Amino acid sequence: MATEPLTEEVAGSCVDSYGSAIGMPQLCFDWFPNQIFWLVITLVVIFLVLSRVALPRIAAILAERQGTITNDLAAAEDLKAKAVEAEEAYNKALADARAEAQRIAAEARAEIQAGLDDAIAKADAEIAAKAAESEKAIAEIRAGALESIQVVAKDTAAELVTALGGEADAKAIASAVDAQSKG
Amino acid sequence: MATETTAAEGSSLVFHPMDQFIVKPLFGGEIAWYTPTNVTLWLFLAIAAIFALLVLSTSKRAIVPTRMQSVAELAYGFIYKMLEDICGKEGVKYFPYVMTLFMFIVCANFLGMIPMSFTTTSHFAVTIPLALSVFLTVTVLGFVKNGAGFLGLFWVSSAPLALRPVLAIIELISYFVRPVSHSIRLAGNVMAGHAVIKVFAGFAAIAAISPVSVLAITAMYGLEVLVSFIQAYVFTILTCVYLKDALHPSH
């Protein structure tokens, strides 16, 4: 604080000779014009700075941020939809693959079945052929045996007739044997 | 008032709580209306602070804001929302004006919290023009927007007919008291806090009391920081309320 007495002009009506305030400096009307003048200048400057530069700029920043956020949200929504789509496609592909696999399995099964049927038929035919051949052979053998029996029977009959002192008539014996063997 | 407290001239206690409000010329000489004074200095510092806060901090126009930029955006959003909530969409037109008042008062108040600084908003010479400008703006705007309908503000149509003239007088008085209360509230709060801090600081000269004094100054300082913001807020919100009256005068 200034302690040395000031000259009367500087001290004035609001400040005493020691540089201290007389009463409230707020009520010193000598200073009002000065304060109001500089206040008006200050307010005008602040108003111009705010309305010309600061506020439009901040408004633009806020709008831009809002836009960015909206865009990002929309993009996220898009990506989400795409992800859902991709999942659906994946599921569809999976189902398709499963169906295809089933189809291929069924086809393979049918093919195998066809081959099997073919083989069975061929085997059956072969078996039938073999059986027929065997039957034929058996019939032949049977016929051969019948003939042999007739020959043996005729011979035996002729011998018997001769042994009994008869005259063996070959024709009669043959017809008799035939008649007997047919009977 | 302040000089009386120095009565104990012989003791170590010397109180000059009001000396911090003295207007001094920066370069000596008489104080004429154009003289650069400490008022000029601190008003210009307020301009600088506002410029740094709202213009420099937003110069990068970052989508992801820096700290200072988000403070600027918060201040913008705070006042914008206040104005929109109270006055509606029509009030948004006056946003630069309200923002100017708020930023000036809040910056001047906080600059005044710097030790040894000069608090411009503690002077009636500063707050009365602010309040008067609001009062005149609102009155002129009210008549321009609503014509004679603005007088409906004083005619309480919801009251019984017999009471209305009485209420009109009360409303009229309260309307004209607005700039007085508006300005004295701000200057009074700021001045009182600063003066009290100065008085506590005077007690610090006594060694035994000085710890208490320092604690009290600290507590008062915290309170004054609150008051700095709250008074700026109150001044602005009242401006919005008065503006609403001008835009929608019906009760």
Q: B150: buried, middle or exposed (CB in 10 Å: 19+, 13-18, 0-12)?
A: buried
pLDDT tens digits along B160-183 = 888 899 999 999 999 999 999 999
pLDDT above 90 for B64:
no
CA-based nearest distance B173→chain A, Å: 24
pLDDT tens digits along A149-171 = 888 888 888 888 888 877 777 78
B18 neighbors A24 (Cβ within 8 angstroms): yes
Average pLDDT over residues B64-68: 90
If one counts the domains in chain A, the total is 1
B13 neighbors B198 (Cβ within 8 angstroms): no
- DSSP secondary structure string for all residues of chain B: -TGGGGG--SSS----TTGGG---BTTSS---TT--BHHHHHHHHHHHHHIIIIIITTTT--SS--HHHHHHHHHHHHHHHHHHHHH-GGGGGGHHHHHHHHHHHHHHHHHHTSTT---GGG-HHHHHHHHHHHHHHHHHHHHHHHGGGGGGGTS-TTS-GGGHHHHHHHHHHHHHHHHHHHHHHHHHHHHHHHHHHHHHHHHTTSTTTHHHHHHHHHHHHHHHHHHHHHHHHHHHHHHHHHHHHHH----
Tell me whether residue A1 is in a domain.
Answer: no
CA-based nearest distance A97→chain B, Å: 48
B206 neighbors B13 (Cβ within 8 angstroms): yes
The least confident of A97-101, B7-11, B178-182, B221-225 is: B7-11
- Predicted confidence at residue B12, as pLDDT, reads 58
Give the one of B19, B37, B95 whose C-beta lies nearest to A34's C-beta.
Answer: B37
Q: B14: buried, middle or exposed (CB in 10 Å: 19+, 13-18, 0-12)?
A: middle
Joined together, the tokens standing for residue A53 give 């530069």
Tell me whether residue A3 is in a domain.
Answer: no
Residues of chain A with pLDDT under 50: 1-4, 7-10
pLDDT above 90 for B29:
no
- Predicted confidence at residue A183, as pLDDT, reads 61
Average pLDDT over residues B1-19: 58
- Predicted confidence at residue B6, as pLDDT, reads 44
- Predicted confidence at residue B2, as pLDDT, reads 43
Helix (H, G, I), strand (E, B) or coil at A15: strand
Task: Name the CA dihedral angle for A37, A40, A46, A48, rounded to a multiple of 10 degrees.
Answer: -120
ipTM beyond cut 0.95: no
DSSP 8-state secondary structure symbol assigned to residue A49? I
Give the one of A26, A50, A64 whose C-beta lies nearest to B122's C-beta.
Answer: A26
Residue of A38, A65, A70 to mutate, interface with B, max B Cβ within 10 Å: A38
Tell me whether residue A25 is in a domain.
Answer: yes
Tell me whether residue A121 is in a domain.
Answer: yes
Task: Name which residue leads in pLDDT, B190 or A173.
Answer: B190
Task: Name which residue leads in pLDDT, B10 or A23.
Answer: A23
Nearest CA in chain A to B56: A54
Is A46 in Cβ contact with B47 (below 8 Å)? yes
Tell me whether residue A2 is in a domain.
Answer: no
What's the whole-number average pLDDT of chain B?
89
CA-based nearest distance B161→chain A, Å: 44
Question: In terms of residue numbers, what domain contains A110?
Answer: 8-182
- DSSP secondary structure string for all residues of A118-174: HHHHHHHHHHHHHHHHHHHHHHHHHHHHHHHHHHHHHHHHHHHHHHTT----HHHHH
Tell me whether residue A99 is in a domain.
Answer: yes
